[in-house]
Structure 1
Amino acid sequence: MRAVVVTTFGGPEAVEVVENEVPEPGARQIRIRVAAATLNPVDAGVREGVFGGAGERIGLGWDVAGTVDATGEASGWSVGDEVVALVYGVLKPLGTHAEYVVVDADAVAKAPLSVDAVHAATIPLNALAAVQALDLLKVTPGQSLLVTGAAGAVGGYAVQLAAHRGISVTALAREADEELVRSLGADRLVSGAEGGFDAVLDAAVLGEPALARVRDGGTYVGVIPHAEPASVRGVRVDAVEVNADGSQLAELVRLADEGLLTLRVADTYALDDAAKAHARLAEGGVRGRLVLVP
């Protein structure tokens, strides 16, 4: 089978498509024939060497939508099931950017019925990051929440999920994205230095400038573990480390099928054109996700 990997760090030209043996599932695992797999900024970070792993062959890809084609003992899934899943980890020999991938059974959920595999593949990493970040914030109706990067993939899901919980959301985004973030459920948009929020979800990874917008004693949650700024003014500081939770993913799929999550695809690329997809991501300004299709 073909799989996308990096063996040296660098720009999009470091991305390789190689031949690899088809992996076999073990106990409580399944193998998915990949129909679509999303390209995320974390893949670019792996490619650039941000997470280490020099001298290793590292597989790219976290999100997957596809069909179960083999099962291990006690997996609880059946061949032919249409599924989505998150394959967690920055330094793994094979990721979801491949023709087949093996996934732990408890990281899997039934695929949404209302959308195709390309759109379904945008759910796992970004929506799980958004909902788990909101859970860390512990923000409740009546409190003020600012989401930075609200027009992005994680930020957009966070806006919708928070609004669904009855929370009033302020979006930090470009003025050109005001119509988009309002359509996602933001009550208003700020682009200046307004602060005093009870909670900030820093999906744009602004760090200290985002922390400065939190009121004294409020809460800040980032989306990159160990990269969050130091606490000041009694602000509780945390960062979400995404958990591949199949049950939580199933709930997000339900919300997508009910039309409460907007699944945004910017473009699709053939697996063999993975380097071109990385180059497009590096250009910036992508609204929605780039998706690889084997």
Structure 2
Amino acid sequence: MRAVVVHTFGGPEALELVDVAVPVPGPGQVRIRVSAAAVNPVDAVTRAGALVEAGLMAPRAVTGIGWDVAGEIDEVGAGVDGFAVGQQVIGLRDLLDRSLGSYADYLVLDASAVAPAPTGVSAVEAATLPLNGLTAFQALDLLELAEGDTLLVTGAAGAVGGFAVEIAARWRGVRVVAQVGEADADVVRALGAEWVVPRDVPDLAEAVRALVPGGVDAVLDTAGLSAMALATVRNRGSFVTVVGGADPIPLRGIRVHHTWISADGAALATLAAYDLTLRVAGTLPLEQAAHAHTRLAEGGLRGRIVLTTAPGGGS
């Protein structure tokens, strides 16, 4: 089968398309025939070697690339209940130091990292959900918000931010302040944001507190604003960041957390049932993974580029 791997860390050209043996599922695992794999920023930093430098991943001779997967169950390992050959699924590969990722024709995952695919959407669309959707879901869990509470989401038009706005507003009854660029104001309002604060506002805390006197109950900081975003939170509120190195000092009794994503098939099944807005920036065939990484580095995307395993497919 084909797989995209890295032997020597570097730029997009470090991605190599190689032929490898089809993986075999062990007990408690399933094998997925991959239809689509989303391209995420973490794939780029993995390719560049930044995760090894940060001590988050052990050095290895061959590094697999890709977290998100959508496809069809191809084989079921011993002891697996609830999945059957031919079933459409989504999953998350959160074990970093492996020689195979989701940029491949087949992927083996623990059954606990897999969920039935959302209905009524393509595999390409479904592949954009696991990593970013779970990150938003798990970050919101850490904030422990009640219905009617207020939340600031920074970078609200991004992949994690957009899911966070939609999940919080539509399924948890939270009142959301979205911080975005002017061009994305209508996008986040459509996702459920009650208020919008411009990304270039001179004083974020002043602008948010003008909308929510006393400060918001919580912040989900996807933009890495750190102390600037912390200043919008009421005393003894809560703050979560998803950006490495952006944890502010927990002033004024504010609870500060960092979200580290973990595969969770049950939570993924909940997300799949939410009918979330899935945004695809474009598709490319697996063999053009390097081009996808180049486009990702150029920025300005709304949604994810998705790699497909159909040879030559893309748009």
> Same fold judged by TM-score > 0.5?
yes
**Which of residues 292, 305, 311 is equivalent to 1:277?**
292
Q: Is the 8 A contact 1:8 1:54 kept in 2?
A: no
How many equivalent residue pairs? 290
Q: Is the 8 A contact 2:137 2:164 kept in 1?
A: yes
Amino acid aligned to 2:114: V
User: How far 1:6 sits from its partner (Å)?
Assistant: 1.6
Specify whether residues 217 and 14 from structure 1 end up closer, same or farther in structure 2 by C-alpha distance, changes over 3 A only.
same
Distance (Å, rounded) in 2 between the aligned partners of 1:69 and 1:55: 28
**Which of residues 97, 100, 104 is equivalent to 2:106?**
100
Does 2:96 align with 1:90?
Answer: yes
User: How far 1:224 sits from its partner (Å)?
Assistant: 4.0
Amino acid aligned to 2:89: V
Q: Deviations over 1:171-209 (max 9, x none)?
A: 011011101111111112112223222210011223232
RMSD: 1.4
TM-score, with structure 1 as normaliser: 0.94
Amino acid aligned to 1:176: A
Q: Is the 8 A contact 2:60 2:97 kept in 1?
A: no
Q: What pairs with 1:128-207 in structure 2 (closer than 5 Å)?
A: 128-164=134-170, 165-191=172-198, 192=201, 193-195=203-205, 196-207=215-226
Residue of structure 2 equivalent to 1:255: 274
Does 2:6 align with 1:6?
Answer: yes
User: How far 1:210 sits from its partner (Å)?
Assistant: 2.1
Amino acid aligned to 2:174: I
User: How far 1:225 sits from its partner (Å)?
Assistant: 6.0
Residue of structure 2 equivalent to 1:239: 258
Q: Is the 8 A contact 2:143 2:218 kept in 1?
A: yes
Distance (Å, rounded) in 2 between the aligned partners of 1:211 and 1:10: 35
Does 2:309 align with 1:290?
Answer: no
Specify whether residues 200 and 85 from structure 1 end up closer, same or farther in structure 2 by C-alpha distance, changes over 3 A only.
same
State percent identity of aligned pairs: 54
Specify every segment of 5 or more residues in structure 1 that has no aligned partner in the other structure, as ranges. none
Amino acid aligned to 2:282: D
Distance (Å, rounded) in 2 between the aligned partners of 1:252 and 1:131: 8
Q: Is the 8 A contact 2:35 2:123 kept in 1?
A: yes
User: How far 1:19 sits from its partner (Å)?
Assistant: 1.4
Q: Is the 8 A contact 2:225 2:246 kept in 1?
A: no
> What SS is found at the alignment partner of 1:31?
strand
Does 2:229 align with 1:229?
Answer: no
Q: Is the 8 A contact 2:223 2:243 kept in 1?
A: no
Structure 1 range deviating more: 114-123 or 54-63? 54-63
Distance (Å, rounded) in 2 between the aligned partners of 1:55 and 1:113: 38
Q: Is the 8 A contact 2:153 2:161 kept in 1?
A: yes
Q: Is the 8 A contact 1:163 1:185 kept in 2?
A: yes
User: How far 1:99 sits from its partner (Å)?
Assistant: 0.5
Residue of structure 2 equivalent to 1:120: 126
Amino acid aligned to 1:239: H
Amino acid aligned to 1:64: V
Q: Is the 8 A contact 2:292 2:305 kept in 1?
A: yes
> What SS is found at the alignment partner of 1:146?
strand
Amino acid aligned to 1:105: A
Amino acid aligned to 1:115: V
Q: Is the 8 A contact 2:204 2:228 kept in 1?
A: no
Structure 1 range deviating more: 145-154 or 215-224? 215-224
Which protein shows a greater Rg? 2
Specify whether residues 96 and 183 from structure 1 end up closer, same or farther in structure 2 by C-alpha distance, changes over 3 A only.
same
> What SS is found at the alignment partner of 2:252?
coil
Amino acid aligned to 1:114: G
